[in-house]
Structure 1
Amino acid sequence: MNLYESVFAHNRQWVTDQLALDPEYFNRMADGQQPEFLYIGCSDSRVQPEDFMGVKPGEVFVHRNIANLVPNNDTNAYSVVQYAVQHLQVQHIIICGHYGCGGVRAALDNKDLGALNSWIRNIDDVYRLHRQELDALPDEAARFRRLVELNVQEQCLNIMKLSYVQQARAKGDYPRIHGWVYDIAQGTVVDLKINMANFKEELALYRLD
């Protein structure tokens, strides 16, 4: 049996095991979802939020792409956020980057990646916005780690610019926006503790769409 075929064998065994533990498991899953979290992360195969968050199916609405971006021209990401906020009414939106991110590395290396260039340019813009801080760091490794963190911060700001997020928060204190970085080498999650109240000036520069 090759690796591809083994996936289906594993699926059949998994269904059997789940039903043995809980005969109503799949019926409950089919009834719908009420996740408290929207998780926006990198597509990197080593980063699996369900594992390091310790959550169950139905508890996290997930969107992933290269370098966990939420750029202003990505209708896919914006549709996910809008659905999560307006229809699922999630309580928390998490932007999660990870140290060693290949997308962030590509921006630092400044190589021609063909069609990927337009996507990576979003990270180039993050570097441009924070060039003074990044260029003052002692070495490339420190700049790499810090750019991962700053990229998460900028994506949190992009979320806050959205009208439906602003409208939801005007009715209460939710959804709350969180910036995380997953450390693959340690298996730990770092909460960057990004306080949106500290970015009123940056957010005021943008017209809400």
Structure 2
Amino acid sequence: MLKKQLNNPELKAGFEKLLAGNAEWMNQVKEDTTGKLKQLAEGQSPELLWIGCADSRVPANQITNTQPGEVFVHRNIANMCVHSDMNMLSVLDYAVNVLKVKHIVVAGHYGCGGVAAALSRQQFGIIDNWLCHIKDVYRLHSDEIDAIEDQKEKVSRLVELNVAEQVFNLCTTSIVQNAWKERTDLAVHGMVIDIATGKLIDLNITFTDSVGLGKVFAFK
């Protein structure tokens, strides 16, 4: 494959910054006296699956102050758990059935651009089709959202409601429900990040079994 040179100074500087950062990380691995970082080459055994937004301001490890190897991560626009998303389902299946994670966190965040875009009538491109899933959440709670006058508060409330809906979507998957038939140590949580303070807010939305999902969604 022909490799083209980066003649643009700005592009070159950005790429070199990336490589410099990797060099610093390599030094940390080399100088790690605990041996934990080198052990990562042998495998992983995280207890947490984090399903979060792709927003650059909400990286899972920094938010939870965890180390490499401790969090299995899936991120997309607005932390969606769509039943037909094979990417998300594959991550979920691997995390639950192979890694045997004990906690799944769906983490939204205030000021989410995807949620704000879903509340508008503007077109943004192909992402509009993805945002329809958030618009569906709005449709279910339109009376509550429309009653809020402040636009920022509207978005914040829809962020919370969207997290609740995605937690429910996860719990209704055959992957999670079948795991609950075999295990009692799997919990699904809904949380929201306040970027301004860094706080991870527990929305008190936690499921540890299919009770409460409703007879149509809970498998026998």
TM-score (norm 2): 0.87
Partners of 1:106 and 1:162 in 2: how far apart? 27
Among 12, 26, 44, the alignment partner of 2:55 is 44
In the alignment, which residue of structure 2 is the partner of 1:139?
150
Q: How do 1:163-202 residues align onto structure 2 when only pairs under 5 Å count?
A: 163-196=174-207
Partners of 1:76 and 1:198 in 2: how far apart? 24
- Residues 195 and 50 of structure 1: CA distance in aligned 2, closer, same or farther (over 3 Å): closer
Secondary structure at 1:73's aligned position in 2? coil
Amino acid at match of 1:179: G
Aligned length: 208
Q: Is the 8 A contact 1:67 1:97 kept in 2?
A: yes
Q: Is the 8 A contact 1:157 1:203 kept in 2?
A: no
Secondary structure at 1:19's aligned position in 2? helix
Q: Is the 8 A contact 1:70 1:77 kept in 2?
A: yes
Secondary structure at 2:80's aligned position in 1? coil
Q: How do 1:66-85 residues align onto structure 2 when only pairs under 5 Å count?
A: 66-85=77-96
TM-score (norm 1): 0.91
Query: Greater share of helix residues, 1 or 2?
Result: 1
Pair member with larger Rg: 2
In the alignment, which residue of structure 1 is the partner of 2:160?
149
Deviation at 1:22, TM superposition (A): 2.6
Partners of 1:13 and 1:37 in 2: how far apart? 27
Deviation at 1:203, TM superposition (A): 4.2
- Residues 204 and 112 of structure 1: CA distance in aligned 2, closer, same or farther (over 3 Å): farther
Partners of 1:88 and 1:126 in 2: how far apart? 31
Q: After TM superposition, what 4+ stretches of structure 1 lie above 4 angstroms from structure 2?
A: 197-203
Which one scores higher on RCO, CA 8 angstroms, separation ≥ 6?
1
In the alignment, which residue of structure 2 is the partner of 1:108?
119
| Identity between Structure 1 and Structure 2 (%) | 42
In the alignment, which residue of structure 1 is the partner of 2:3?
none
Q: Specify every segment of 5 or more residues in structure 1 that has no aligned partner in the other structure, as ranges.
A: none
Greater shift in the superposed pair: 159-168 or 16-25 = 16-25
Partners of 1:91 and 1:198 in 2: how far apart? 13
Cα RMSD between the aligned structures? 2.1
Secondary structure at 1:150's aligned position in 2? helix
Partners of 1:188 and 1:57 in 2: how far apart? 21
Q: Is the 8 A contact 1:168 1:174 kept in 2?
A: no
Among 104, 111, 125, the alignment partner of 2:136 is 125
Secondary structure at 1:186's aligned position in 2? coil
- Residues 90 and 23 of structure 1: CA distance in aligned 2, closer, same or farther (over 3 Å): closer
Deviation at 1:204, TM superposition (A): 3.1
